[in-house]
Amino acid sequence: MEAEETYLKGCFIFTPKVFEDSRGYFFESFNIATFKSLTGVFVDFVQDNQSLSSKGVLRGLHFQTGEYKQAKLVRTIKGSVLDVCVDLRKESKTYRQYFSIVLDDKKHQQLFIPRGFAHGFVALENNTIINYMCDNYYNKSAESGIIYNDKTLNIDWKLDNSELILSEKDKELPKFKNLLP
């Protein structure tokens, strides 16, 4: 496994060593000792989530607040997504900046998103399955988000607005400037 830190401190891209032959492929998707040696971070994942999305489904930008903040390790099992994370750490040099990467079932890369970030993704193919492990439990009272098309963030979602499919809840998320301090 190789790790590369993005320009957002603490946010890493992991590229596994994939072993392929006529039977298919095998790779190690997570190993706590390897993760810690590559990042210097100890993380204890306690919740594993998976979703299925049609092309154009945009989920996000979501985050948890307070003691329920979550770090995530995101990967695509089938299909492809444009995965996006936004630095919400006010003390960070990259506050309000975002990072995006295409995660697919070909390269098998993963994105580690530390606590203090918003996260979202858009499915680039039908029947896309995404998986993400979280280091804290979901808590409905701590959930928050930012509208996907916020002008302050100016995220390029790689699809035309007419192709995007959002939940009613995600359509009503606040603008970045309206987040609680």
pTM for the structure as a whole: 0.95
Q: For 130-173, write each residue's pLDDT tens digit.
A: 999 999 999 999 999 999 999 999 999 999 999 999 999 999 99
Per the annotation, the verdict on 108 as an active-site residue is: no
**CA 134/CA 111 separation, integer angstroms:** 12
Of the candidates 68, 59, 27, 34, the one whose C-alpha atom is nearest the C-alpha of residue 129 is 59
- Output the pLDDT for position 180: 59
Per the annotation, the verdict on 98 as an active-site residue is: no
Of the candidates 71, 139, 137, the one whose C-alpha atom is nearest the C-alpha of residue 110 is 71
CATH code for the domain defined by 46-178? 2.60.120.10
Among 62, 98, 119, 148, which one carries the catalytic annotation? 62
Q: What percent of the chain has pLDDT over 90?
A: 97
Among 98, 119, 132, 148, which one carries the catalytic annotation? 132
Proportion of the chain in helix, strand, coil states, percent, rounded to 5: 15, 40, 45
